Amino acid sequence: MKYGNTNLPENVRAFLEEIIDDEELCDAFYSSDVEIYDEDWVKDLEENFRQEFEELMGPGDSSYKNIKAFARDGTGALWVVLDDELIGYIGTEGQCGIVSRNINEFMNIIAALKGSSLLFDFWDVDTLKSEEAFIDAYNESEEDDETDYNEVFDKFINKHGFTHDLKTIYEYIVKGLTVQPFFQVIATDDDYVDSASVLGLDGQEQLEALMDALNS
């Protein structure tokens, strides 16, 4: 198996191999800000991860210690596996967080959103406070989407027995974002601040606001 010399979990390696071996599928994920690279890229990042992590987040103590990167987004941020199961995001603006409970749900979310940027289109409290708000945002993003990977993503969804149902996708997203303990980095240098959540640049306040909205 490709990526067999990396430390990634086997189920993550299997998805990476499938995607990188299919040019159209790889392009489709690229359009969703999930940039998949070859085994050498993963191995190199593993060897230099602590340096990469500090360049993104600054010196600090992470609430999760077992962190393995498997992809980038267009800004240079990292998609990572936490504790060999949870899927997290480490941004370039001091934000990080859990985005999915497992790799299957993560891949399903990306494919179901069909080319929309997960971060910029959907990660905010107003969009995620209800199913209706989320579905409205999805429908608007489809109208504005100039790149159509519907057939590629639909094939991927059907192959893996994933769902197209937006209510289920919404559930996957909010349950992933609200996993506790939160994935955060507490600064150990006075020149830096603690990480923000993926929902906003104000510590964990936006994430806590989302949880309040969901429970109201």
pLDDT at 132: 97
pLDDT at residue number 143: 62
Predicted confidence at residue 216, as pLDDT, reads 84
The pLDDT value recorded for residue 87 is 98
The residue assigned the tokens 């923000």 is 196
pLDDT tens-digit map of 114-147: 866 666 788 899 999 999 999 998 888 776 555 5
157 and 112 Cβ atoms separated by less than 8 Å: yes
Whether 178 contacts 68, CB under 8 Å: no
pLDDT of residue 58: 94
The alpha carbon dihedral of 17, 21, 26, 29 has a sign of: negative
Note the pLDDT of residue 139.
Answer: 86
Q: How far is CA 80 from the centre of its chain?
A: 8
Buried b (16+ CB within 10 A) or exposed e, 6-26: bebbeebbebbbbbbeeeebb
* pLDDT for the residue 73: 93
Element (H, E) at 33: none
> Within the chain, which residues score under 50 in pLDDT?
none
Task: Give residue 118's pLDDT.
Answer: 66
Mapped onto helix, strand or coil, the DSSP state of residue 32 is coil
Contact between 79 and 56 under an 8 Å Cβ cutoff? The reply is no
Q: pTM, whole model, 2 decimals? A: 0.95
Give yes or no for a contact between 78 and 62, defined as CB atoms under 8 angstroms apart: no
